[in-house]
Amino acid sequence: MMRMRKGAATREAIVDRALDQAVALGLEGLSLGPLAESLELSKSGLFAHFKSKEALQLAVLNEAVERFRVRIIEPSLALPRGRVRMEAMVSRWLDWMEGEPDMRGCLFVVSCQEYDERPGAIRDRLVASQKEWHETLARVAADLPKAGKAPADYCRQVVFELVGVSLAYQQHAKLFRAPNARARAEEAVSRILDDAEQAA
């Protein structure tokens, strides 16, 4: 036994395409019909890979989490602790907000608005992944010079403010198409990190 090979491949192709669609219209805006059509699959053929729409949505969300880990977290953690690592992480984070090639935008930002009032497995997964990301950010912030002397939750405050910058960046870049959005974001980040270098 142990039969199966093609299935996994098309499943990956489905999730990949679905991720594109979800970034543009949201996880809730995912529609099986058009998705199948764009992959030249029958709707039922596609559906058979996931036993429900929610399972597909979860697969898409998990794929985004994994890509985020590979593209943002891992490369940054290879750098020396301190401001260098933090700046690399934030820079990659802002890149992600613009979108990977052919994928414009950030699934997490879109989904956070979709699910903050919709309880369920998707919301739970989303909240968990975001909290995990903020934890990672806080650990990186803990290596900043001020972190040792400041109040215990100083790192959390830094994370809060960085989250704000990333969200403002996304809005200015995508909604307003402001060409100077990146410059504004980088200046804001500098202010936050400079503040973390002088003693409390």
Partner DNA sequence: CATCATTTAGCACGATCGGTCGTTTTTTCA
Partner DNA sequence: TGAAAAAACGACCGATCGTGCTAAATGATG
Question: Can you give the binding site for DNA, defined by CB under 7 A?
Answer: 1-8, 10, 30-34, 36, 40-49, 51-54
Dig out the tokens for 103 from the structure: 């994928």
149 binds a copy of itself (CB under 8 A): no
164 binds a copy of itself (CB under 8 A): yes
Please say which residue, 46 or 158, places its beta carbon nearer to a copy of itself. 158
Q: Which stretch binds a copy of itself (CB under 8 A): 9-17, 77-85, 87-95, 113-121?
A: 113-121
Residue 48 binds which entry of a copy of itself, DNA, none, CB below 5-8 Å type-dependent:
DNA
Please say which residue, 43 or 182, places its beta carbon nearer to DNA. 43
Please say which residue, 41 or 122, places its beta carbon nearer to a copy of itself. 122
Among 17, 92, 172, 182, binds a copy of itself (CB under 8 A): 172
C-alpha separations of 22 from 15, 26, 35, 122 in Å: 10, 4, 10, 13
Helix, strand, coil % in the chain, rounded to nearest 5: 70, 0, 30
Please say which residue, 7 or 151, places its beta carbon nearer to DNA. 7
R_g over Cα of the chain:
19
Dig out the tokens for 14 from the structure: 């489905």
199 binds a copy of itself (CB under 8 A): no
The b-or-e profile of 96-112 (16+ CB within 10 A means b, else e) is: bbbbbeebebbbbebbe
Residue 8 binds which entry of DNA, a copy of itself, none, CB below 5-8 Å type-dependent:
DNA
**Helix boundaries (H) for 69-180:** 74-77, 83-98, 107-115, 121-141, 154-170
Pairwise CA distance, residues 94 & 89, whole Å: 9
- Give the end-to-end CA distance of the chain in Å, rounded to a whole number: 65
Q: Provide the binding-site residues for a copy of itself, judged by CB under 8 A.
A: 24-26, 28-29, 104-105, 109-110, 112-118, 126-127, 130-131, 156-157, 160-161, 163-169, 171-172, 174-176, 184-185, 187-188, 191, 195
